[in-house]
Amino acid sequence: MLPELIIWGGTGNFKVLCELLREQYRIAGYFDNNPDIAPHYRGIPHLGDWDAFLQWVQQPQVTAAPPHFIVSIGPGHGAVRQQLHEQIKQHGLKPITAIHRTAFVADNAAVGEGTQIYANATVCVEARVGRNCLINTRASVDHECVLEDGASIGPGAVLAGLVHVGENADVYTGAVVLPRVRIGAGATVGAGAVVRHDVPPYAVVVGNPARVLRQRSG
């Protein structure tokens, strides 16, 4: 019998996770604070918002055998992913790491709990991926890269060797980051950007070569 899993979040990332995890877990339901979220997806019920979760987690069958969980919230919300992960974990549920069967993860790479690695993504030798990161479809994380907690790498994005991506930073679809570049905490690398130089924390960079479009507060 497959182990039970609940998912926080019910939008696009959730649907991808359902496909990724369907052979490994029995997905009992999903929670989301959005009142407009679908009431079910492929037979999986929406179980309610945070208040509903707090009631659900106190049920005897849940406290007796806490299920696994993962937080499914997409790019731009790394800090929220991390916060919800810790809050849910405090209620005794067991975090998982989700790696698609077609992804390649080197045997000496490290991947933190709550991280999600999607179809045909690559995580190469001695890479260090923190907690609650997203490595999306066909993204490539090359040798000795570091992704701090909450970082996300978009579909088809490429990190060359020894790139360092700071906490909660986002590298969007198709971007390329050249070797040894550091992306600061909370920074945003726009879709298709080619990053040749370090990016300051909370900066938004776009273009080829990438330039600072604006600076956000931390």
For residue 122, the 8-state DSSP code is: E
**Active-site residue (options: 46, 85, 143, 164):** 143
Is the distance from CB of 108 to CB of 124 less than 8 angstroms? no
Is the distance from CB of 26 to CB of 5 less than 8 angstroms? yes
For 188, other C-beta atoms within 10 Å of its C-beta total 24
Nearest by Cα to 179 from 201, 205, 197, 191: 197
Nearest by Cα to 67 from 40, 39, 29: 29
For residue 185, the 8-state DSSP code is: T
Q: What type of residue is 103?
A: A
- CA angle 89–85–164, rounded 5-degree value: 130
Place of tokens 């992804």: 103
Q: Structure tokens of 60? A: 């005897």
Is the distance from CB of 162 to CB of 148 less than 8 angstroms? no
Task: Please confirm, yes or no, whether 100 is among the known catalytic residues.
Answer: no
List CB contacts of 86: < 8 A, sequence separation 6 or more.
Answer: none
**Length of the chain, in residues:** 218
Q: Which residues are known to be catalytic?
A: 143
